[in-house]
Amino acid sequence: MSADVQSPALGDLVRALTALDYSADLVLAALGREGHAEALSGNPGAAVWHLTRRRDTGAVDPRSATLTAVFFLREPVEFGAVAGVLGDDLADDLVAAGILAADQTDTDALVRSTIDIRPVTHDRHGDGRPVLIASDPDASAATTTRRSDHVPGVGQAPLTLLNQVPASPTESLLDLGTGSGVLALLLPAARTVATDVNTRALDYARASERSVTGTDATPVDFREGSWFEPVTDETFTRIVSN
């Protein structure tokens, strides 16, 4: 079952995780440096071992352990533990939207996230607060067939591009092919327009924007269409494209 990314539950989840301080610092503290390195190197089994050991020894609190296991490692977790952190209503809504799905490898009441939500910060851009980027799981790790409208998450390519973009804010920013929205949401501008031909990508990006709602960040104008078609006759002081 694919996640219904048009469901309001996705944006509600991003907002809830923001309120719970789900961040790179929380994940690092939960996994420890060794466990975090294992996760980033594509060894989730070792990362889970470190997380479990740290939770059992009291080095990490249960809430942080649950958030890290479900949304960073995408490991199966008891539904009751997820509901205990997010609240019963939101947890039920996430199951109804297919964002949390029953884990088919176990007969217990375990659920697994069908999406990725990664906290992202960048030294050159933003104000240090994490932006939570929602996307489809890495295709190489997905347990289901990749969709034709698959939306990749935060890989090395956008992070490398962020290192090349000037650190100074700009008057108007255009992000062509925004995907999950990481560039549009991190780069400061007085006005930002982000385009993509993939409706599912824009749904993810709009949900991710809930992690900066309520701050002084200017709302992003997300538009569906191919390349420059949605911005005909408009000009921008900075254009980026991954």
Whether the predicted pLDDT of 142 surpasses 50: no
Closest CA to 70 of 93, 91, 89, 92: 91
Q: What is the pLDDT of residue 102?
A: 86
Summarised one tens digit per residue, pLDDT across range 19-33 is 999 998 999 999 999
Whether the predicted pLDDT of 123 surpasses 90: no
Summarised one tens digit per residue, pLDDT across range 32-71 is 999 999 988 888 889 999 999 999 999 999 999 999 999 9
Contact 180, 201 (CB under 8 A): yes
Cβ neighbours around 25 below 10 Å, total? 12
Q: What is the pLDDT of residue 169?
A: 87
Q: What is the pLDDT of residue 156?
A: 80
Cβ neighbours around 235 below 10 Å, total? 8
For the entire predicted model, the pTM comes to: 0.89
Whether the predicted pLDDT of 145 surpasses 70: no
Whether the predicted pLDDT of 97 surpasses 50: yes
